[in-house]
Structure 1
Amino acid sequence: MINGFTLHDTNTAPAASGEMLNGIQKSWGFVPNLHRILAQSPAALEAYSTLWGIAEKTSFTPQERNIVYLAIIYENECTYCMAGHTNLSRMAKVEPEAISAVREGRPIADAKLEALRQFAAKVTRQRGVVSQAEVAAFKAAGYDNQAVLDVLVLAATKLISNYTNHLAETPNDSFMKGAEWNPPGKLKPAA
């Protein structure tokens, strides 16, 4: 048990989650600790898994998708997801300097990716309340209304994972070794 949450496997998870965990094992070759925690709620595991699949269908390239994820994770200060998505970003061939920039909260050299990072960060930090000027700046960098909405799909996906990891204090998986991250520490627990 971690912070009152169990790292489930197919033997301990509710039956509906067990079937999904089997599918995750087949797809990924292992079951990440996040999914093992989410397995307590078949609805939560299904919601995250479904959104993850839908996120793959957005208008973003794999590199752009990972920049958005990293920007959202940075804003939400999720150490588990930052470690995981750092390595997933490497696998997606995101430039190492771009990964480092997002992890450190600094601009990306590529102007279009920087506009994407900034927009995803603002949407997350400001809970979707962005100005017309901020949307216009995002579009001026080469994005459109579909991309605006696609950022929301990725934000919804990360809301489930980032918040679960905060609540459960999910331990990193072995594949994350070397990608650990210390957040800037802006978030404070609710009073």
Structure 2
Amino acid sequence: MINGFTLLDSSNAPAESAKILDAVQGAWGFVPNLHRVLAESPAALEAYAALWGIAEKTSFTALERNIAYLSIIYENECTYCMAGHTNLSKMAKVDAADIEAVRDGKPIADAKLEALRTFAAKVTRQRGVVSEADVAAFKSAGYNNQSVLDVLVLAATKLISNYANHLANTPNDAFMKGAEWTAPGKLKAAA
């Protein structure tokens, strides 16, 4: 951990955060270290928990959400989230070859999923500034305006988690063993 962040639990977190941590424990059977970092700010923890739930309501299937999340995480170079979402993707039955391709920043075989991977990456990398041709290519693969906006929901969810993990150097959770990842190293901290 860096920058003075600690891993909180419901016994030492602010009361508003403790309630969310207890709910996560009840739902998942454990509290991920990301949530324990975010617990220092009840607003940050609530925002992440809310966005996570909202992301489940997007127009994307579980398979598509996982591909988009992995692509966004790749661009944000979050080693914690890449390890976590690699295993979450496996649990969601995402093809292992697709997971590995996205982890390597390479195209995937399925044309529609590749369009999603590419678009989510561009939106993230270019902070939403994409061309009409980029949007048109995404739509021509079978997506629509709702899908374009739903990518933003996923990107916003990962912005909170990826950036928090960078700021705190969040340690991986036990369930991530075997899914560790080395980021490409394009992002560097400002001097």
Q: TM-score range by the shorter chain?
A: over 0.9
Percentage of matched positions with identical amino acids: 79
Match of 1:181 in 2: 181
TM-score by length of 1: 0.99
Cα distance in 2, alignment partners of residues 39 and 29 from structure 1: 17
Match of 2:11 in 1: 11
Match of 2:156 in 1: 156
Structure 2 unaligned residues grouped into runs of 5+: none
Q: Is the 8 A contact 2:2 2:167 kept in 1?
A: no
| Root mean square deviation of aligned Cα | 0.7
Cα distance in 2, alignment partners of residues 19 and 153 from structure 1: 24
Match of 1:66 in 2: 66
Q: Deviations over 1:140-168 (max 9, x none)?
A: 00000000000000000000000000000
Cα distance in 1, alignment partners of residues 178 and 22 from structure 2: 27
**1:2-41 counterparts in 2 under 5 A?**
2-41=2-41
Runs of 4+ with deviation above 6 angstroms? none
TM-score by length of 2: 0.99
Match of 1:97 in 2: 97
Cα distance in 2, alignment partners of residues 45 and 157 from structure 1: 11
Cα distance in 2, alignment partners of residues 30 and 167 from structure 1: 22
Cα distance in 1, alignment partners of residues 160 and 174 from structure 2: 21
Query: Displacement, 1:127?
Result: 0.3
Query: Displacement, 1:190?
Result: 1.8
Matched, 1:190 2:154: no
Q: Deviations over 1:66-94 (max 9, x none)?
A: 00000000000000000000000001111
Query: Displacement, 1:184?
Result: 0.5
Query: Displacement, 1:2?
Result: 4.3
Match of 2:143 in 1: 143
Q: Deviations over 1:115-158 (max 9, x none)?
A: 00000000000000000000000000000000000000000000
